[in-house]
Chain A
C-alpha cells in the first residue's frame, strides 16, 4: 500500500464535503493510504499570491515543512486544484528564486520550522491514474458505467502551469472515464476556467464562464460533468440555477467529483451524491442505487 501525506485544504470540510467523503471511500478500494497532515493551515488559495507574495509563500511553506517532518520522503497530495497549484508553486519557487527562499526560510525559522525542499506535490488524480493505474481501476470496477456520457472537466489550475496533463487538451480524466466503462464526450471547454473565486467578486463574468462550460457539455450530450476541484464543482453546480436565470437557459446537469464516479463503478458508499444541487437525470440515476 502506498502512503501519501494528504493535504485536504479548507473546502474539503465545507463545499467539498462530498469530495472528501467519496475520496475516503474510494481510497480504501484503491488501496492507497492518505495520512492527513497534522495541524495544516490554509494554502492561501489563488488570490493571496498576488496580494502578499512572501507571506503567501510562507504559509504555503509551513504546510510543506510540517509534511517533511511528519512524512519524510512522502509525496504531498492535494485533492483541490487550487491547493495543488498553491503548494506546488511555493515548492517550485523556493527552488528557483533564492531571494524568496531566504525570506521564507526566516519566516519558517521564526516558527521553529524548516523546509529542505525534498518533497513533491501532486494532485490526487495523478496518483490514481499514474500510481494506481488505469488497469487496476478497470479491474476494480464491479459495475461498468455503460452508456453514461461524461464530460471530463479538468479546469484550469490543475493543468496550468505545472500540469501533469496537456494544458490545452487534457486526456487523463477521459482515460479514467473509459476505464470504468463510461463514454467521454468531446469537450472543448475541458481546460477552460470556471470563473473561480470571481463568482464572489465579479459575478457577471464568472456566470458567463460557467454558462459556456455547461453549454458545451449540453451540446456534447453529456449526462454528467466530472470535476477534480471543489471550487469548480461549486460554481458549476450551486450556481447552475443562477446561470439559468441570467441567461434564460434550462440546464440540469449533475456535477460529480471524479471520485464519486469511481465510487459508482466500484459500487461503494458513502459517496455524498445526494449533496449535489443539480439532480441526476435517468442516465446517471440508473447507477445510483
Chain B
C-alpha cells in the first residue's frame, strides 16, 4: 500500500455547523493527525468552489485519501465521491464524518460539540487509511415497467411511460381500471365531470400498444433487483374467456341473482330497504336492488376492460350447483366455469406503485350513528347518491326516498383524531365543499351545514372555491360534532336526525335538526398495502402510507432502487397531485430505461468461501433473498446485484465468513479505535 496522504475538509454548513462547532479549532486539530497532509475549512463544502478545493488538492498535493466532516452521508456522500472520482481518485478512498446531524444539531454546548466533532473526525481519518478501491458495476436494464394499481395515478404513469414507446404492464386488482375517481360525479374545485376526464384515459391505456392491462390481477411475488425484476402476477379466475367475450352484457342482464351489495356503490347496498309502516304486510315483497349487483358483473357501465367477471362466492351455480343461465345466454360461448387462477411471470426494469387508498370505516364511532342510522352516509356513498348513474340516478333522496330539507356534512371523521388517525386527510374539506355545492345546485331550498375544525383549502383555486361557497348560503359551523341522534327532544326535531355540536365561534352548544348526514371520512392506506409493502421491501411512515426516500427531494422514490410510488398510496392526495406524482415517477422510470444500465453500489456483502461452514443461518435472515446455497460446495453465496448492503448477514455469521466491502472488520475496528483514543 502506498503511504496514505489524507486531506481533511471541515464544513461550516452556513451556520448549521459553524455556529455550534468551532471549525477553525477542529481544522487545527486535524492538521496534527497522522497521515494528514492538509486540513481546510469551507463555508459550504458541497458547493462547486468547495468541491474544487478537494479536486485541486488531490491533483497538486497528491492526496490519496479524502475525509469531509459535514452532514450525513445520506445527503452528500455521493457528491464528494464524485468530486474525488473526477480528480482521478477512486471514490471509495473517501470517508465522511457527520458533525451536523450527530453533533451540531443535537446540542447547544459549543465546547463539547467541538470536542465531539474532533472525536468523530479521528474515527474517519483512522478508517480511511484502511479503505480499498471499489468499483461500481453496471448492469443492463430490462426495458419494461410494471405499474401496480389502475387508479388515476397508475393510469397516468402507464400512459406517460408508454409515450416513450417502452413496454408497460398495468396491474389492477379490480375488474376495471379507474380507482376511486371512477365513482365520482364531479371533481373539485373545477366541478368537471369525473367520467368525462377519466374514461378517455382508461380507454387510451387499454388500447395503447405499449400497455398491457392485467385487470382482476395481483402481484404476488417480486424478485431481482433494480433494472431486472422478475414479477409473478396472479390472474384471478373470472370464469369468462376474455378472448371470446364481446362485452355485450347479456349475461349481466339475465343473471337471476341480483341482491349482492355492489362494491362500487360503497356501502349503499348494505342498508335494509325502507318499509313504510302502513305498507301492506302480505303479498310479494318488492325486489331490493338498491345499490346491488348481479353475480356476473362489471363494476360500472364504462368499465375498462369491458369484460364481466363472475363472483364465485355469490354465484348460484357455485353455491347451489344449478343455474348456468349466463352460459346459456352467452352467444359467443365465453363463459368458462372451469377456469382457474393462473400465474404469469414477467420481467421489468422498474416498478411504479400506485395502489391508492381506502376510506375510514366510521362504524366504530358509535356517536355518529353510521351503520345504525340509515340516513348517515359516508362521503363515498354520497358520491354515488349524487352520481347520475348511481342507484338514485343522481337524485338526492333520504332512506325513505324523500327530499331532505337539511343536510349536515361532518368533517374530519377519523382524521386529526388521536383515537383513529392523527393525519389530516387533505381532500375532505374540499370534497365537503363540493357536496355543499352539488346539494345547493340540486335542491335550492335545502339547508346545508358544514361542521369543520379548520377549513383547509390549500390548492390552486381551492380558497376561491371556498369563498364561492360562502356566497351560496351554506352554513359553516366551527366545531367537532359530538353526536348524531335519531331521537329529538323538541317538536321540530321529531322524526329527524339531530346533530349536537359545540359551535366554538358562537360559544354555545347547539342542536341542529337535519334529514341526512354525510361523514367526510379519513383516507387510509389501501386494503392490502401492508402485504404489498413486504412483497416489494418498502417502508411505511407512521401513518402507514408508503414512505418516500426523501419528503422534499425524492418524493416519488423509495428506499429500494427502481421502485417508485405515486398518488394516494404515499399519503392523502387530491387528483391534481396524484397525477403530478404519476408523471414524476414515470419520468424516473423512463430515464432509467433510456440510460439502459444501472449502477450497482459495490459496498455489498460477499462470502469468504474458506471460512463458510455452510450453517445457513444467513439465508433466511436476508431481507432481500440475496443469499443462496451452493449445493456443490455446501456453502452460502451472495448474489451481488440483489444485495443491498444492509449488513444483516455480516452481523449474524458465526464464523465471520460473511463480509461486506467497505465495512470490513479492519475498517470498523480502526474507526472505533480512533474514536476511543481521541476521547
Binding site for B on A (CB under 8 A): 166-169, 186, 188-189, 212, 215-216, 219-220
Contacts and interface: CB of A to CB of B under 8 A. Distances in A.
18 contacts: A166-B366, A167-B366, A168-B366, A168-B367, A169-B366, A169-B372, A186-B486, A186-B487, A188-B485, A188-B486, A188-B487, A189-B487, A212-B489, A215-B489, A216-B487, A216-B489, A219-B487, A220-B487
A169 B372 CA distance: 10
Contacts of B367: 168
Contacts of B366: 166-169
A168 B367 CA distance: 6
Q: How large is the interface on B (under 10, 10 to 19, 20 to 34, 35 or more residues)?
A: under 10
B522 to A, nearest CB: 19
Given A169-B366, A215-B489, 16 more contacts: A166-B366, A167-B366, A168-B366, A168-B367, A169-B372, A186-B486, A186-B487, A188-B485, A188-B486, A188-B487, A189-B487, A212-B489, A216-B487, A216-B489, A219-B487, A220-B487
A215 B367 CA distance: 20
* B366, B485, B487 interface centre (most CB from chain A within 10 Å): B487
A7 to B, nearest CB: 30
B230 to A, nearest CB: 49
Nearest to B365: A168
A160 to B, nearest CB: 12
B271 to A, nearest CB: 17
B565 to A, nearest CB: 37
Nearest to A216: B487
Interface residues of B: mostly helix, strand, loop or mixed? loop
A212 B487 CA distance: 10
Contacts of A166: 366
Contacts of A215: 489
Interface string B472-509: 00000000000001110100000000000000000000
Nearest to B485: A188
Interface in B356-377: 366-367, 372
Contacts of B487: 186, 188-189, 216, 219-220
A169 B367 CA distance: 8
Contacts of A212: 489
Interface in B438-495: 485-487, 489
The 3 lowest CB-CB distance pairs between A and B, nearest first, are A168-B366, A188-B487, A169-B366
B76 to A, nearest CB: 45
Contacts of B485: 188
A76 to B, nearest CB: 28
Contacts of A189: 487
Nearest to B488: A219
B647 to A, nearest CB: 39
Nearest to B368: A168
A163 to B, nearest CB: 11
Contacts of B489: 212, 215-216
B314 to A, nearest CB: 30
Nearest to B373: A188
Interface string B339-369: 0000000000000000000000000001100
A137 B487 CA distance: 31
Nearest to A168: B366
Nearest to A208: B489
A219 B486 CA distance: 12
